[in-house]
A and B are shown apart, each in its own frame.
Chain A
């Protein structure tokens, strides 16, 4: 089969969108935090925590949407830790974020092992099913690409629009953009810098947790150690690539999903000649390349990484 013909199949684009979904959540989450001036390297651990907590809740009988809520609350909890350490205390966002990743990851693994001490193969839940809407799903090409997806993919697409709308059309969004550019401006106008930043980090972390939950509740049906596999870090690279804009974030995640889906298919075509690991490396190499290409002209939020203390200017 001609390699380029892959790009025209509906199954390819269906896979691309599916692979992109957790990244859409991750990039949006990172975007919300960073637009308000806080780098959240807790993302990788929050993915793990969201994946584990959401799955565990469903496994304990909470129902799928109950699991979503639990995942978001868990993400919000770890986000709050990061927010307190970096916003009012003004500690290093790098180190605090890594600390949160370590904490969230180890707490998730410990909880999983403690809740399920004696399982040899990971227990399974009934995950989200493709929506499969009659008629719509039968539209050629678009039908399978869009309507073979689960509710969580639709949620991700909806959140892209929501985040765009909040940032561009509401006073809250204006204030969030301002606090990531010049916190003094926000303070001088009588708004709370701490309040805005803490809320942004907590909300962003909830979005990140959804990315993790997608893995255990939609893409797969079980929790594995190491299943997040750097998706959080890739999101951090993609948000720079997306210049902190929701629309471009969607585009970046989709491009990434497309490349990943393409390499998987390429692997089946030419896999006999090339070690499979070359393909496995591709997403990470791609992220680094994307980062290097945009790094020089990246328009970082001006106050990113800079702690702000009340009454010290």
Chain B
């Protein structure tokens, strides 16, 4: 069977980094600031090439470090530009100060994290640790499963970030190595259709560097008296409200994308073969493909297992997840990163927190794998499925399982 292609779309073979660059080009971004770092480098090199070739009409600033990358983009955004960058690992760490300020300024910046494990020990390979380390800062975070989803989500990110009920920066996370350099067939949507989908940009209606409407940006607030504390609380509550609003906006954007382009990606969580499932495994990012194949094989053997993939990780889709897990007796959660404070994976930690609001408690176990470039294969997920099946039978959760400890 060949895929059915929309008449005006174009089929290419590209890796995830190139797919992201195509998306940025299709989103008509005005301003790109870059500092290359492995495994993100080729992404910003593609952007530089698209701009040099005249395919993308954007300013590009090759700055001296990631701190400046985001500072430049904040200024551009305040001046009304649609903005983009990509980073990862140590670069993201160096970006942290302006990264913290971006959501408070309510700037709809879009940044790809080509995920990479954090130092130390030294490694330049993939893992979610960098993105997970900035999960509580107030950026929306979505994790992609495939090259096509990278392209589609990067375009959707602008509609989500710039929505008046959200006005927050968005990270699209795609796995270093497996998605950044993994190539697959990918449909490029038609430019006019993308323009219609995104609509007119209006990114600085609320806060601007504009001589025609001078205003104080980022006022001094806080303290123990006067209007300071309540102003600060108003800002903070507004940010939290924007995050919660994004759940609906993300869902609507994915639905509209599916209608227009014929590709339906689950917006918050995806339930895969959960009908009649007695237990479930949970995944995030590019590991999901191998996990789905393992679930199919287990189902063929008569094991009643399903899979729940988390796409939107921040804000955490509590309601959608609780509903997805409503019928199962146990869950095994696979993370590609570590929560040092809890000796488990962060997705596992969020899952059990979310399940506290569920009508009944189910046993859960944490699995950690795919760190620093390690492969997560069908065989690994067969182990996760086997252990979660035991958990559903006896209810005895063990300590965190490290999948690549021996293989």
Q: Do A and B bind each other?
A: no
- Which residue numbers of B lie inside 8 Å of A, CB to CB? none
- Which residue numbers of A lie inside 8 Å of B, CB to CB? none
